[in-house]
Amino acid sequence: MPLPTSHTRDLEFSILDVFTSTRFAGNPLAIVFLPPTSEYNPTQSQLQAIASEFNLSETIFLHQPDDSDITHAIQRARIFTSTREILFAGHPTIGAAAYLLIQNPRQHVLKSLVPGAGPIPIALADGKEGFVEAIVPHTYHEHAQRCPAARLLALHSTLAPFVGAEQTFPVVSIVKGMTWVLVELASLEALAAAKLGNAAAMIMGDGGLLDEGWEYVAPMGAYFYVRSPEGEGVEQGVETVRTRYMVRQIEDPATGSAASALTGYLSLKEEGERGGKRGWKIVQGVEMGRRSEIGVEVKVEGGKIEEIEISGTAVVVSEGRIRV
């Protein structure tokens, strides 16, 4: 017997692999296209249910542009994980920008993507065919408290041979609600040793590590990194950093917002009051067979981060309709 079809609507979607030009690598993203709100105005719970159904690290919803959007060259968007809406994330931004600026020639001229964090300037990357770039909205903040090794190892015990008992690690937010413990490791062997953590030992955003006013009720993950790994390093002033990110028993193949926080932290430490721009290539997802490459450029002025720009590419893997 066929399923009832009353009160249903088909929404078009595309699945892209982001921060790669190779299908089945990079970080998968679902883009769901919403019709004009006069025709269909989904609730928060309906959007969350769709994102949970895709069960990817993020799903981005793109609203049908109205006359005002076209006039101002913007694309309104909302970004969801499988459990909550978030204001910003790097791989949905780059994935949507790549689709809208490259894959979809019928799209009106665009200058900005507008998720919950506000307008994000997007553009084709100069001299790099197939690549797009975006200015990251940020309120970069390094917290006063550092994460002690004991707390980290309660979550990632396999790193005990590589982490000193007295070590502490910086805690950095790119915006409120998006925070990472930045854990530098000495080798790719140590990076490979990191395993998905013990959920009972989850580091929480309201667990005492964040400065007053920055707390939030959600887990924070450790962002592991190795600078200038063997076989890579610094090329034309751009340093390669290998990374991994795990949270809620899930490993993420590419995390543009965490890459922004990490490169912001490293650029501030090394550029300081001198100022200037630093280029970085973040390589993530290798250990899970989904190599991703995230370009980041950080501009520092007067001891503060003036601008963070991320860049990358994306490739369409599948397209279809989801019935809601």
Instruction: Quote the CA–CA distance of 116 and 98 in Å, as a whole number.
Output: 19
Asked if residue 160 and residue 133 are part of one domain, the reply reads no
pTM of the model: 0.93
Asked if residue 126 and residue 77 are part of one domain, the reply reads yes
At residue 5 the predicted structure's pLDDT band, cuts being 50, 70 and 90, is low
The answer to whether position 61 is within a domain reads yes
> What's CA 110's distance to the chain center, in Å?
21
Asked if residue 261 and residue 184 are part of one domain, the reply reads yes
Asked if residue 287 and residue 183 are part of one domain, the reply reads yes
At residue 233 the predicted structure's pLDDT band, cuts being 50, 70 and 90, is low
Domain limits for position 275: 141-310
Q: What is the pLDDT of residues 259-285, one digit of tens each?
A: 999 999 999 998 777 889 999 999 999
- Element containing residue 262 per DSSP (H, E): helix 256-271
The answer to whether the CB of 65 falls within 8 A of the CB of 86 is: no
The answer to whether position 68 is within a domain reads yes
Query: Is 264 strand, coil or helix?
Result: helix
Asked if residue 72 and residue 106 are part of one domain, the reply reads yes
Asked if residue 306 and residue 269 are part of one domain, the reply reads yes
Q: What is the pLDDT of residues 287-309, one digit of tens each?
A: 999 999 999 999 999 999 999 99
The answer to whether position 192 is within a domain reads yes
Nearest partner of 134 among 191, 83, 180, 77, judged by Cα: 77
Nearest partner of 300 among 279, 270, 276, 280, judged by Cα: 276
The answer to whether position 80 is within a domain reads yes
165: how many CB neighbours lie within 10 A of its CB? Answer: 9
The answer to whether position 3 is within a domain reads no
Asked if pLDDT for residue 148 goes beyond 60, the answer is yes
pLDDT for 230: 81
129-144 residues labelled b (16+ CB within 10 A) or e (exposed)? eebbbbbbbbebbbbe
The answer to whether position 150 is within a domain reads yes
Average pLDDT, whole number, for the chain?
Answer: 93
Asked if residue 163 and residue 120 are part of one domain, the reply reads no
The answer to whether the CB of 243 falls within 8 A of the CB of 225 is: yes
Active site residue 297: no
Counting the structural domains of the chain, the total is 2
- Choose, from 39, 53, 58, 306, the residue flagged as catalytic: 58
Ranges assigned E (strand) in 87-170? 112-114, 120-124, 132-135, 141-142, 147-148, 168-169
Asked if residue 26 and residue 126 are part of one domain, the reply reads yes
Asked if residue 17 and residue 149 are part of one domain, the reply reads no
The answer to whether position 2 is within a domain reads no
CATH number, domain of 15, equals 3.10.310.10
